[in-house]
Amino acid sequence: MTNYHGQIHLSLAGFYDVLTDDGKMKRTRARGNFRKKGLTPLVGDFVEFSADADQDGYLLKIDARKNSLVRPPVANVDQAILVTAVKLPDFSTNLLDRQLVALEDDGIEPIIYFSKIDLLTPVEYENLAEVVVGYRNAGYQVVLPEKSFDEPSLKELREILNEGLSVVMGQTGAGKSTLLNHLNETLNLATGEVSQALSRGKHTTRQVSLVAMGQGWVADTPGFSTFEVFKMKARDLTKYFREINQYSSQCRFRGCVHLNEPNCAVKEAVDNGEIMQSRYNNYKLFYDLIEDRRPVYNKHDKKH
């Protein structure tokens, strides 16, 4: 038996295909002690395994992960394409900002991609272009197609995806599978309501694999995680809004949370149009949500 190191590129029915550090694909299985320890290998995991030349190998160890997602179930993600519909479903800054905060928390670089552009009137497109400027000024990469899936926007995305491990995420109906099909025509993923109807009530194999995108890799399974939970403390939320964090250092009070404090550089930046009002409103909303979640202990509450 020879020991190898590599990254899991396919997970299917208890088998894991690992691309070794020297570029060979080996099929492996997890030993029973993985289950006992509650460890589930994920696509994207860097692993050690042992294998004979022509036989399936056995996973020995999973390296520490820098992050992991539930939908799609992938580890060590470098960046996420956030497919954001402008209509059907309607564009929501609240949802987009929740996703951005969650990805910042996981150390995943977000790229915002606007879909369903063809449904906008010229005036609506101009209004969206202003929103795009706001997000770009906040420090995010934004891809705004002139037409849905036009070649310039696809080329821009392929350049972004040319390194690291990427996932495609977004709301149901935003066009994630369609985008993946345009980026890599060999995928031929099922899209739209028809595929949802077909898969409803059926047992579908949970398969995830990585497909090459230039020098990078993309998970072929799009995902959408619900972003209900903020794991950080309310006073740390400022770190997860890039532009708010940038202005924080100019606030008069150290530890300013940009709500009721005087001489707050963040509130001043909002008033001057340097930070989008919608971003600040969502910051306040998320802050309140985190605060409301805190357990309140009543010292007079005694158990008998």
User: Is there a binding annotation on residue 304?
Assistant: no
Preceding omega of 41 cis (within 30 degrees of 0): no
User: Is there a binding annotation on residue 53?
Assistant: no
User: Is there a binding annotation on residue 147?
Assistant: no
User: Is there a binding annotation on residue 199?
Assistant: no
User: Is there a binding annotation on residue 81?
Assistant: no
User: Is there a binding annotation on residue 172?
Assistant: yes
User: Is there a binding annotation on residue 134?
Assistant: no
User: Is there a binding annotation on residue 173?
Assistant: yes
Count of Cβ atoms closer than 10 Å to residue 217 Cβ:
24
User: Is there a binding annotation on residue 90?
Assistant: no
**Residue among 77, 55, 59, 42 at smallest CA distance from 5:** 59
Q: Which amino acid is at 241?
A: F
Q: Which amino acid is at 204?
A: T
User: Is there a binding annotation on residue 258?
Assistant: yes
User: Is there a binding annotation on residue 238?
Assistant: no
User: Is there a binding annotation on residue 264?
Assistant: yes
**Residue among 100, 94, 114 at smallest CA distance from 176:** 114
User: Is there a binding annotation on residue 251?
Assistant: yes
Q: What is the DSSP string of the chain?
A: -EEEEEEEEEEETTEEEEEETTS-EEEEEE-HHHHHTT----BT-EEEEEE-TTS-EEEEEEPPPS-B-SSS-BBS--EEEEEEESTTTTP-HHHHHHHHHHHHHHT-EEEEEEE-GGGS-HHHHHHHHHHHHHHHHTT-EEE--SSTT-HHHHHHHHHHTTSSEEEEEE-TTS-HHHHHHHH-TT-----HHHHHHHHTTS-----EEEEEETTEEEESS-B--------S-GGGGGGGSHHHHHHHTTSSSTT--SSS-SS-HHHHHHHTTSS-HHHHHHHHHHHHHHHHHS----TT----
User: Is there a binding annotation on residue 118?
Assistant: yes
User: Is there a binding annotation on residue 170?
Assistant: yes
Binding-site residues from annotation for GTP: 115-118, 170-178
Residue ranges of the annotated binding site for Zn(2+) are: 251, 256, 258, 264
Annotated binding site: 115-118, 170-178, 251, 256, 258, 264
